Structure 1
Amino acid sequence: MEDTEETLAELVNSNFLKCSSCCHDYQNPRLLPCLHSLCEDCIQKLPRQITAPAENTKSSENIPNGEVLQQFSCPVCVSSISLPEEGGSMFQSNAFIQDLCILYKYKHDTDRQCDYCKFAGKTVDAVSLCLNCHDDMCGDCQEAHHKTKITRNHKVVPYEQIRNGLYDHDIREYQTLKCNEHENNSLTSFCTDCEMLNCPQCQTSQHGGHNIIDFENALPKYSKQIKGLIASIRTRLPSIQNYCQFLENYSENLEQTKQQLLTNTQTQADSLHSLIDECKNKLQQEITEACETEMDQAKEKLNNLQIASTSLHNNAHFLNRLMTHGKPEEILVMHREITTRLTQLIKMQLDGLTAKLKIGFIPGANTEQNVQTLFGKLSNDKVPIGKSESAQLSGGELKITSVLPNVKSTAEFLLSFDSEGTDENRDIWPTGMAVTKKDNIAIVDRDNKKIKIFDSVGKLLKEFTGQNDNKIGIPFDVTALENDSIAVTDYEKENVKVFTQDGNHVLTISGFFKHPRGITTNSKGEILVVDCRQQRITVHDPKSGNLIKTIEALDQKGNRILVDPFYIATTHEDNILVTDTAAPNIKVFNMEGRFIAEYGTYGIKEQQILQPFGICVDEYGYIFVADNQNHRIHLLNPDGKLNKFLLTKANSIWHPMAVGISKKGFFMVSEALGKVRLYKYL
């Protein structure tokens, strides 16, 4: 993790530009979510595991083409990567490596031909390169290039000097990224509202009225964020390396123990001769199997940690090089993937041992009465790893505060309904859901910009959009208040609006938000709102909307730990649960704002989440989390540990979004495109 001292020339001529899969120069390098890069063709050639939707389910019929889950393992870090059937096209190009590959070709290709002579049907060796046009030219075309009014001031440099490395930085300076939508345009600026690079045509057609700034002014914010994450990785690496050393030493000690015990048993066997040969062989087999099984486990964990360490090293080297030699737009175009990956690595849990094998040999008395007693037996047990050895594996946990009722082995489906309103002109996108005191169901239809009220069996009672100054812009989430009115977050208008269930406006809370998403209430009836732009939580008086407190969501070092928060819920103890889709996990805070615990890492296995969306808590403290991309509902115990997957694709669940508990104690979930389902789970 040390900062690189290599020059640009050294970097270009190093193995940094070699694909780790094919070991050749990168061809159209693609950036994977784990921040390793592969050639696009190499991605297509990697072995894949395909998971199809559950058969004979209505939800599978609604899955768009390309949503069949395909996975492959990164050849560098063995991370599981998911992609649609289109393969590498889902991964963005690694602009940094691509431009360095172009520079490498300029310096090493010896058979470059004049681009202009090609148009005349001639093949002439190129002697120079126009940095403005990126065209190869022969001597005659170079001379003509300098005589035209448009190109006379272009910077043309000889290939002889390029190959000697005299123009590396000049070539880098003239390299630009092209717009994917407008191929002839270069990306020239950055939209801070959309966090996207754009060309002049994009500014006009897609970013009208947005805050547009140049790359140099946009870079500091993301550069600081990435450098901070790199610094966090630096603090993470020593603990992994120390644990790798512990596992190596443990394996060596096991080998020594095994050899010593085998020697002791052989000595005992020799004293008892053939009478105890059978017993000796049996116990030696037990010793070998116990020790070697333990060694295999330790070596497997060691190998996994070494792979993780290598991955962190590779990520760090890539990012150090990117921050040292990358252009602003190259950094900015990858900032989301970088931030997501680094956050995952920082929060990565070490897969270490929870107990060590304690094995010994207890010799028996040298008599002939009982062969088993004579020969002795093994003391074969597991002992907990000491606190000093397992400190790196410890983490905060919530406390179970009640006796929990049993959960059904299979959730019982009760009913479903489509949350359709009237005069819909777009697909239904039910991002928010809440249950009122009368057991009515309030649904936020984000894309149709409506609030819809249904009764407990799915009959539409009312729909509204607000009026005049209180008209809803882009709503996201909803919560029911103690007076049975509902509060809705509106991230276009940057406020929270309170309505009666008849659609009458009661209150607007504004001035505190930049991009409000999730909303909920606590035991006092106070309104809690999570702001994804400001990465914080605010608490408001439900009657006046006045700010009661701001929870900055910081760790012990004062760093913000919310990356891309979506939904929020509270427990009976008023602990705050926030789903964070970029981490991705669930983060837990108390009402004083102290970070308590977290659940979930990136993936498809148990305790893993691809995209956590809605979250809610029932009266017993059970926690329900919608995993949108894994098509399943996590049921967690009040201590934050996984109880089971309550619902999966096998139960016809498809892209779950918002979740809730009805007044009758039934679990509810909304799905992409508008389906709402109710289940009995206790």
Structure 2
Amino acid sequence: MATSEDLIASDEIQESEETLSDDLNCPLCMKIFRSPRRLPCLHSFCHDCLQSHIYKIASLKDSVKELCCPLCGHVAYIGELTAELTADKLVHLFPLNTLMLSVLMKSNDQAHFVCNACQVQDIVSPAENLCAVCEEALCVQCSKMHEILRLSTNHTILKIKDLPSKQETVLQDNEMFRCTEHGSLPVEYYCKDHEAQLCAKCFVDDHVSCPEVIKLANKTPNLSEALNQMKEQMKNLEDQLKQFADIKVLNLSQLESDVNSLTGKIRTLKKIINDALDDLEERVKEEVNNIFNDEKKKIEQTNQICQSHVTAIQNSNIVLESVSKYATQNQMFLLIKKITNQFVISKRHNDDRLSKNDIVTMQLEVNPQLNSVVNIPRGEIGTLKIKKRGESPVVPDRFKPLQQCIVERVNVKDIKGLKNKTPLVKYFTPCYTKVTFTSTEQLMLVDYENKILFLLDSLCNILCSHTFLYKPFDVCIIHGKGDENVVAVSVPDKNSVHLFSLEDNSITHLKSIQTKYKCFGIAAYNQKELIVSGPCNDRMAYYWSIITLDGKEKSYHEFDGAGTHQTYIALNAFKSRLYISAYAEGSLCCFGLNGTKHFTFRNQLLREPQGVSVDRDDNVYVVGYRSDNIF
């Protein structure tokens, strides 16, 4: 007989379950789940939300064959949308999450479901039952058909309203606990070696020899502690996500405040500029008006004087005309002399005025500095700085030339005895394509034209050499422990990299590694991996990839270019940036080791770049073959 304590505990469990069911929200619509459907990654979404997600993907792509989980990005194959196979039907490829439904039904027994089998046929029928194996809601008619079909005759059919009390049955038949290879068989084993869940058939066929296989029925450990740990970890992750979201909300608020502040500063700057321009306008107008008024007075005075002289001349003409009829010769002579004197004086003054040519004009010659202010580019008004904390330093999008670079040739040494060391080889003019130092300060030198790899001491005396059948191009040293060195040499014509060991001043061939395309540039990434680069054979592009010393390709990247000539490569000291000189492109490219292309550099003083190197201060040096310089 149940005690009062048992009844209280039962009520508390029921209350907690109902509270939990209220918190079961779809991650897309953020509302309580409606017909939750489960993806293979175990994330669940409302039926309608998942259907909308499929429609969204279909609108962005010409064809849809795969569905990415909106949360984790896990890819599930769904087939291709057609006129018959629409998103409405594709969504049924993902089963209902019956476990979640059983929890939801405890707090919402009024939930309504439609028959999924009828829905595929564009028929809406209320569902009363649910197949625990197929995890699909069924109407009465479809339930009867489901029970008589040979493939589903053994499936468990449950009443939807009974789901809350049938959780054990739901768990027993749930697809998550059945074998992924043999869907009708339950999972009975777990292989620790392969971290795989196995049915009896999987165990016998593929894992019977694995040493770490446990039979779940017999050796399943007590999981209460593991469950508590998982709950704690999930709670910590939930808290971290909430904290992160809160930080982003605060950041958004701060960003909004920054935008308002910036807008206010621009408005203030605009007012200052406008006030200055208004003041300038007033001062210019006042000055111009003053000049105009002064010149106006002068012109009016001059005009008045001219008019007076014109009047005097007219009067003299009238007098002469009138007197000439009655005056004697002596009187006319004297009158003409007097009038002539007046005329001479007037003409002299007029000639002086005409000679001065005091015509006044006004023109505004704008100060060039003012023009530069009016036409100033937006970027020169000021710098809009966007700072992001917690990120790696941003790689600049272009090179910054060294402010001072003093080059001094310290020493020059001749390499002697090359022909004596290779008497059986027809010796061509040397073409040295790479030199590098070993850990013991010896030098490795590649003669591309004569197909020779030289080992030199620090005084450039030849210690030994190795002759290739094909032309070698680049060499790098893979530093080991102590004085141990492995030498990697690229051979482009054979799409290969050759490995050598250096011991007792001798070069010993170890093995060769095949590359996908011609390999020119080569650099040691670490003691077990190389970075190789060259042109892609089948198209106009370059590539670079990371390969292991066993020949396995760990990553592969391509970038645009002529793709027909050699490349050189260099890593910076922190192994975070890769520099590739593209001979035919006349460019130097910078990449992150994750494949991100930071920038491409070109300069008219750097033509046909070849060898490239980086010092410990992250300064980059590249040889210009045609420009005869080191940039």
Q: Give your verdict on TM over 0.5.
A: no
Length-normalised TM-score, structure 2: 0.37
Q: Which structure would you say has the larger Rg?
A: 2
Counting helix residues as a fraction of each chain, which structure ranks higher?
A: 2
- State the structure with bigger RCO (CA 8 A, min sep 6), 1 or 2: 1
Counting strand residues as a fraction of each chain, which structure ranks higher?
A: 1
Length-normalised TM-score, structure 1: 0.34
